[in-house]
Amino acid sequence: MITLKSEREIEGMRKAGAVLAGMHIGLRDIIKPGISSWEIEKFALKYLDKNGAVPEEKGFEGYEYATCVSVNNEVCHGFPRKGLILKEGDLVKVDTVVSVDGYMSDSCWAFAVGEVSDEVKKLMEVTKKALYLGIDQAVEGNRIGDIGHAIQSYVEDEMGYGDVREFVGHGIQPTMHEDPMVPGYGEAGHGPRLKNGMTITIEPMVNVGGWQCDTSAPDGWTVTTMDGSLSCQYEHTLVITPDGPKILTSQDPVEDAKYL
């Protein structure tokens, strides 16, 4: 069931989104060559606790961590690991869901470790642009398929990258995953209609190679690209309003001015 949120709920989600955005901003100074991916988890836990937020991923369906830390060809759901030392040129994606006073927000951000290759830079640029192309379609009266179509047309038809199918965005609040599902691919003019008060995540996952993913990892969680190619993800939580989509997890009030 798709629910429309009240102003009180949206404001609560905005507060949670601000904490989550602050965590990602803080990670810019943490993520560098030589640290373990476990340091990301430690920082996140400390930051969220200090700011009165609860890491909702921890304990979800048996998942043991506050963050998902996926590196290079890992698409999503990678564990933070003490033995995984980040090296110059790595591409790291950090995804988490937090709640403040029961209100949730969800965001994933990609980070370059030190100096990265042109391939990594381009993949990050394409994925971030895909996110915002999707957000631009999240207007009242459009349909879910308009979001996915905008992302897929750019990622696959224009750029020739793989647009992941197995994992999609979703509604959010009062639980982590609500209706509707929000694929990063699709057919324009199809799917549920977007209405004022809907809160959703848009989270394109883009592979340099094919879109297919390998979900057979022994840990039961870590997803990798089927062909071993690099993968990137960016994600925002947003609300549909009569004045256009409003991002609840923005890290940059200047870049995101039209969405705030």
Residue list for the binding site for substrate: 77, 177
Residues 13/5, Cβ–Cβ less than 8 Å: yes
Tokens for 137?
């379609």
Euclidean distance between CA atoms 235 and 182, whole angstroms: 12
Binding site listing = 77, 95, 106, 170, 177, 203, 235
Binding site listing for a divalent metal cation = 95, 106, 170, 203, 235
- Amino acid type, 172: I
What letter would DSSP give residue 163? E
> CA dist 47 to 12, 28, 82, 193, Å?
18, 13, 19, 37
- The two beta strands, 74-76 and 223-225, are antiparallel
What residue ranges in 73-166 does DSSP mark as E strands? 74-76, 91-100, 103-112, 162-163
> CA dist 161 to 91, 156, 164, 172, Å?
16, 5, 10, 28
User: What is the enclosing helix (H) or strand (E) of 27?
Assistant: helix 7-30
Nearest to 94 by CA among 68, 115, 118: 68
